[in-house]
Amino acid sequence: MEIFVYHTPELTPDQPLPDCAVVIDVLRATTTIATALKVGAEAVQVFSSLNDLLATSAAWPEEKRLRAGERGGAMVEGYDLGNSPLDCTPELMMGKRLFLSTTNGTRALQRVENCPQLITASLVNRGAAADYLVKNQPKTLWLLGSGWEGGYSLEDTVCAGAIAAYLTEKGVEFTKGNDEVTAALSLYRQWQDNLLGLFELASHGQRLLKLDRLDDLRYCATEDLIDILPKQVSPGVLTAA
């Protein structure tokens, strides 16, 4: 297995897509996706465009859909939800499709939507994602962070490092395709015992703190909390594998 870490979708090369891509947006899209599926959402369908989300979701019965829109960390006016995983409850989500558009994560998913295998990961489901990689051992693997509006983010990189560390612990042999893999591993090993502290230092973590989302940070910083693996079944549509 050859692993590459890319901090943002804009930094991915033009070369052919990998055998498997893992999209990471710890704060908060991929954490929300995993949580929504855990509590019973039928599927999560992602959009980079709010207009596309509205147009597609309009074809669904109101009682079978939820619209989640986030920009700049805050909920978009007129939507049912923002992008907080703590809003995902069985009472709200069971049997419904979550139509989701966020500032960063949904753009990353769109970048690699044509990969043969596409899953999402966050710290809360790190083990489930890594176990999938242990089992399937794709020849080439991208750990793709979402970043913030094209820039680097600590939280996505530390999650990539957490996945790589898990593979190492399981005895999986892999080649580091770029230096970012080593950097991600180093970041995780430095902060693995204080991930919340890292998130409080991160620029997006600080942005969420200003929006009174400390509980979101605590949740998103918890490793291996849920055993759920979101996997793309058609472009932009993810279900629990």
pLDDT at 220: 98
Report the distance separating Cα 16 and Cα 181, nearest Å. 19
Report the distance separating Cα 198 and Cα 144, nearest Å. 19
0.75 exceeded by the pTM?
A: yes
Report the distance separating Cα 199 and Cα 217, nearest Å. 7
Work out the number of other CB atoms within 10 angstroms of the CB of residue 105.
32
pLDDT digits (tens, 9 = 90+) for 101-153: 998 888 899 999 999 999 999 999 999 999 999 999 999 999 999 998 889 99
Residue 176: its H or E element: strand 175-176
pLDDT digits (tens, 9 = 90+) for 41-72: 999 999 989 999 999 999 999 999 999 999 98
pLDDT at 180: 98
What mean pLDDT, rounded, does the chain reach?
96
- Tell me: pLDDT of 207 over 90: yes
> Left (φ > 0), alpha (ψ -120 to 50) or beta: where does 27 sit?
beta
Report the distance separating Cα 183 and Cα 143, nearest Å. 13
Q: Is 36 helix (H, G, I), strand (E, B) or coil?
A: helix
The rounded percent of the chain whose pLDDT value lies above 70 is 100
pLDDT digits (tens, 9 = 90+) for 159-184: 999 999 999 999 999 999 999 999 99
Report the distance separating Cα 119 and Cα 239, nearest Å. 10
Q: Set out the domains of the chain in order of their start, with CATH numbers.
A: 2-234 (3.90.1560.10)
Report the candidate in 148, 116, 145 with the shortest Cα–Cα distance to residue 9.
145
pLDDT at 241: 92
